[in-house]
Amino acid sequence: MKSLQDRLKEKGLRSSYQRIKILEYLEKNRTHPTVDAIYEALKEKLPSISKTTIYNTLKSFLETGLISDLTISGHEVMYDAETKPHSHFLCKSCGTVLDVVDIKCPHVRKEVDGNKVEEVHLYFKGLCKKCLPEGRKQ
Ligand SMILES: [Zn+2]
Ligand SMILES: [Zn+2]
């Protein structure tokens, strides 16, 4: 397992303490946090951090392929330390976003009508196991 410093260096990113803490948070919390959630989690340990810093850091992580993002909820961007293609499930009740790793979209193609496909996002929405009323569980 490469150190976080090495992973930043590999992507040509300067490794500052704040950057390492943000990447570390994403690696440890595979809950697809938003900028707000990351800010809330880090502001105690990093009192000088701002949402703008977090946003800009995430942007540079995205541009270099260190992380991925998703917009499953339709109103906010979520960030994911997993960069391999995978699908997501959104619980419409509690807002939890789970990784779906065992289902691949059957329609994945390299091109559609001559247009080159670079990303395919498959979003499932419904009620998670915790929110399903008793009796409706499988
Ligand atoms: Zn739920
Ligand atoms: Zn994910």
List, for residues 41-64, the tens digit of each pLDDT value.
999 999 999 999 999 999 999 999
What's the confidence (pLDDT) of residue 28?
96
User: What's the CATH number of domain 84-126, 1.10.3470, 3.30.1490, 3.90.1690, 3.30.70?
Assistant: 3.30.1490
**pLDDT tens for residues 127-137?**
999 999 877 66
Note the ligand closest to the C-alpha atom of 98.
2
Q: What is the CATH number of domain 4-70?
A: 1.10.10.10
What's the confidence (pLDDT) of residue 91?
96
Note the ligand closest to the C-alpha atom of 86.
2
Residue 79 alpha carbon to ligand 2 centre in Å: 8
Domain ranges of the chain: 4-70, 84-126
- Distance, in Å, from the CA atom of 23 to the CA atom of 74, rounded to the nearest integer, reads 24
Residue 48 alpha carbon to ligand 1 centre in Å: 34
Residue 126 alpha carbon to ligand 1 centre in Å: 8
Vertex 74 angle, CA 128 and 122, to 5°: 60
- pTM score, two decimals? 0.86
**pLDDT tens for residues 68-115?**
999 998 889 999 999 988 899 999 999 999 999 887 766 677 888 999
Kindly tell me if the per-residue pLDDT of 1 is higher than 80: no
Residue 125 alpha carbon to ligand 2 centre in Å: 14
Residue 99 alpha carbon to ligand 2 centre in Å: 5
Note the ligand closest to the C-alpha atom of 87.
2
